[in-house]
């Protein structure tokens, strides 16, 4: 421990830590500004007792907003500064991990940022704590102090999360009761294992296919969508993505039972992780053919049956522990209540309503329903096709996961900014060219800036949209014009396996 602390101290004083120090200042400003401009409680006796409630109103709110957005700007600048090191291949994995610690530490003390979902998590956990089924009733059926802070749209909505996460929320509320502040802090700490798993898994997956681990960490760990939205906003995506990526890393390394088990636990947090499981079946089947001489059909059937058995076993254990069934699957449709421009069906309906309404009467909700049905059809048709095309190599399997997650995010009825972290973790190992890094920087910056700290979005304000586009353009340009480093693959971290493509890169015969 002393050795690690000494190394971290040495890093903090080194020139390589300049982006870390800048981002730390940004995180401090975000935490301070969040007291007034974040997703605060409707009634906050803690601020009143500290004589800080003035930060939420009038000039105090203006000051809080300036501090918070100034902090976001500094953190984005620090991320892009570090991105230039990624482009010229001078960044190391240790720099990325240490920088994560600098940026995250202040945010562990912040109020929820850019989202009020954590209040829903606590209210749903309290339902289970108090003997109610969160898959049958909404938080409104259990009046308490937690309910006061749940967004009205979700008070009557049943929980769309798996038994694993509901169990975590229950334990948090058992420990802290209805204390919102303590519950938020403890729930955020429960997300840390997800971040730790992502830090462990992302570079391993990247190295498995001959990519750079430091670049992967920059894309999917230090990304503001992860640091500010997932950790600052206290989203269970952090836990889901970390578990899923750890499962993928273990599966690619030949530890299939443990890998599939972790992915199953990720599904028990949020169903989206299940998109990765069919692709890991290909990996398992391929290894059975090479290692045990199974025929293609026998290998596929064995891997499929084993994966399904593990998934059922994990869900049986967690559902029994939580005392719930599979009712959460029916609650997944609750996202239809969200209407924004982050998915193609909803964006198309908004455009048709805006421009078609100039010439003909348009029923927006009828158009929206049709657009969303088309979106679901696109998902239903494309996912099996992508899965089948991704059966030959480990790289193809990873690419398939990334593609289907992008398709789902773009064509589901509704999406929120943190949904884009689903494919981001897998994409981190696959798209590491300068142009790809620049595009990821631009898109991540736009999604970060377009959302408001109180959990609302600015997509119906032209000024906010133009500001987000301008910030995204600056982010893209700053890395697109960055001078690339050597073409050769950088050396691995100490103790890491040598770089090189995975063994499955030798293409298998068609039809297998």
State the DSSP string of 38-104: SS--SS-HHHHHTT-GGGGSHHHHHHHHHHHHHHHHHHHHHHHHHHHHHHTT---HHHHHHHHHHHH
Q: Is pLDDT above 70 for 251?
A: yes
Instruction: Using the predicted structure, report yes or no on whether residue 52 has a pLDDT greater than 80.
Output: no
**Which residue in the block uniquely carries the two structure tokens 């020139």?**
15
Q: Per-domain residue ranges for the chain?
A: 18-111
Q: Is the pLDDT of residue 499 over 90?
A: no
Q: How many angstroms separate the CA atoms of 104 and 219, rounded?
A: 16
- Output 144 or 283, whichever has higher pLDDT: 283
497: phi then psi, degrees, rounded to nearest 5: -70, 155
Residues contacting residue 459 through CB under 8 Å, at least 6 positions apart: 340, 341, 342, 450, 465
Query: Model confidence over 178-189: pLDDT tens digits?
Result: 888 899 999 999
Helix axis angle, 237-252 to 180-208, nearest 10°:
30
Secondary element (H or E) of residue 320: helix 296-322
The Cα–Cα gap between 44 and 84 comes to 42
Confidence of residue 173 (pLDDT cuts 50, 70, 90): very high
What residues are paired with 335 via a beta bridge? none
What pLDDT is attached to residue 507?
A: 39
Percent of the chain with pLDDT over 70: 90
Distance CA 314, CA 362 (A): 48
Residue predicted with more confidence, 43 or 122: 122
Asked if pLDDT for residue 56 goes beyond 80, the answer is no
The three-state secondary structure class of 451 is strand
In the predicted model, what is the mean pLDDT of residues 302-309? 96
Separation between Cα atoms, residue 449 and residue 25, nearest integer Å: 18
Total Cβ atoms within 10 A of residue 291: 10
Contact 471, 121 (CB under 8 A): no
Residues, the chain, total?
512
In the predicted structure, residue 37 carries a pLDDT above the cut 50: yes
Q: 322-376, pLDDT tens digit by residue?
A: 888 877 776 666 666 777 788 899 989 988 988 887 788 888 889 999 999 999 9
What pLDDT score was predicted for residue 488?
Answer: 39
The residue among 245, 199, 222 whose CA lies nearest residue 444 is 222
Structure tokens at 35: 């007291």
- How high is the pLDDT of residue 493? 46
Report the share of the chain in percent with pLDDT over 90: 61
What is the C-alpha separation between 292 and 160, in angstroms, rounded? Answer: 40
Q: Which has the closest alpha carbon to 210: 489, 1, 464?
A: 489
Among 380, 3, 39, 51, CA closest to 181: 39
Per DSSP, the three-state class of 108 is coil
Angstrom distances, CA of residue 208 to CA of 45, 53, 284, 425, 500: 51, 51, 15, 14, 7
Residue 491 has pLDDT above 50, yes or no: no
- Sequence-ordered alpha helix ranges (H) in 421-493: 421-430, 434-450, 462-480
CA 450 – CA 104 distance, rounded (Å): 22
Is the Cβ–Cβ distance between 419 and 160 less than 8 Å?
no
Q: For residue 457, what are the β-bridge partners?
A: 451
Tokens of 321: 């522990």
Q: Whole-prediction pTM value?
A: 0.90
The Cα angle at residue 236 between residues 233 and 238, in degrees rounded to 5 = 80
pLDDT of residue 38: 79
Give the model's pLDDT for residue 503: 43
Specify the pLDDT at position 336. 67
Q: Phi and psi for 38 in degrees, rounded to 5?
A: -80, -165
Other beta carbons within 10 angstroms of residue 10's beta carbon come to 11
How confident is the model over 194-204, as a mean pLDDT?
97
pLDDT at position 399 is 96
* Cα separations in angstroms, 459 against 236, 314, 427, 450: 24, 40, 26, 7
Helix (H, G, I), strand (E, B) or coil at 441: helix
């Amino acid at each position: 421990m002393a050795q690690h602390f000494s190394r971290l101290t040495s890093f903090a004083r080194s020139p390589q830590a300049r982006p870390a120090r800048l981002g730390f200042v940004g995180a401090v400003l975000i935490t301070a500004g969040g007291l007034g401009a974040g997703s605060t409680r409707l009634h906050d006796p803690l601020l009143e007792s500290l004589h800080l409630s003035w930060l939420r109103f009038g000039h105090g709110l203006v000051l809080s907003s300036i501090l918070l957005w100034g902090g976001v700007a500094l953190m984005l600048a620090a991320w892009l500064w570090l991105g230039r090191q990624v482009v010229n291949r001078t960044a190391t994995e240790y720099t990325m991990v240490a920088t994560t610690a600098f940026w995250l530490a202040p945010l562990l003390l912040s109020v929820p940022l850019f989202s009020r979902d954590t209040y829903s998590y606590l209210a749903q956990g309290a339902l289970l704590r108090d003997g109610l089924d969160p898959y049958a009733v909404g938080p409104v059926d259990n009046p308490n102090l937690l309910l006061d802070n749940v967004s009205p749209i979700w008070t009557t909505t049943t929980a769309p999360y798996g038994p694993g996460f509901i169990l975590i929320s229950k334990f948090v509320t058992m420990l802290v009761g209805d204390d919102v502040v303590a519950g938020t802090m403890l729930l955020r700490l429960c997300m840390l294992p997800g971040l730790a798993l992502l830090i462990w898994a992302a570079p391993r997956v990247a190295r498995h296919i001959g990519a750079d681990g430091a670049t992967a960490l920059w894309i999917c760990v230090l990304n503001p969508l992860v640091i500010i939205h997932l950790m600052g906003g206290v989203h269970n995506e952090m836990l889901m993505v970390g578990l899923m990526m750890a499962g993928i890393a273990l599966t690619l390394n030949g530890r299939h039972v443990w890998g599939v088990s972790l992915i199953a636990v990720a599904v028990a947090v949020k169903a989206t992780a299940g998109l990765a499981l069919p692709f890991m079946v290909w990996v398992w089947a391929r290894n059975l053919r090479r290692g045990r001489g199974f025929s293609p059909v026998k290998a596929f059937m064995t891997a499929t049956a084993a994966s399904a058995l593990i998934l059922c076993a994990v869900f049986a254990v967690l559902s029994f522990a939580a005392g719930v069934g599979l009712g959460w699957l029916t609650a997944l449709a609750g996202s239809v209540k969200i209407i924004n421009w982050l998915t193609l069906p909803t964006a198309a309906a908004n455009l048709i309503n805006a421009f078609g309404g100039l010439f003909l009467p348009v029923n927006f909700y009828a158009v929206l329903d049709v657009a969303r049905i088309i979106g679901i059809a696109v998902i239903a048709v494309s996912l099996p096709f992508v899965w089948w095309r991704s059966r030959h190599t480990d790289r193809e399997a990873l690419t398939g996961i990334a593609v289907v997650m992008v398709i789902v995010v773009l064509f589901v009825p509704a999406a929120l900014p943190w949904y884009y972290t689903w494919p981001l973790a897998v994409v981190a190992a696959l798209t590491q060219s300068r142009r790809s890094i620049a595009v990821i920087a631009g898109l991540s910056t736009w999604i970060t800036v377009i959302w408001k700290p109180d959990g609302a979005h600015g997509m119906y304000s032209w000024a906010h949209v133009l500001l987000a586009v301008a910030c995204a353009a600056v982010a893209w340009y700053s890395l697109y014009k960055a001078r690339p480093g050597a073409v050769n693959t950088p050396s691995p971290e100490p103790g890491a396996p040598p770089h090189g493509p995975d063994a499955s890169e030798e293409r298998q015969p068609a039809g297998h």
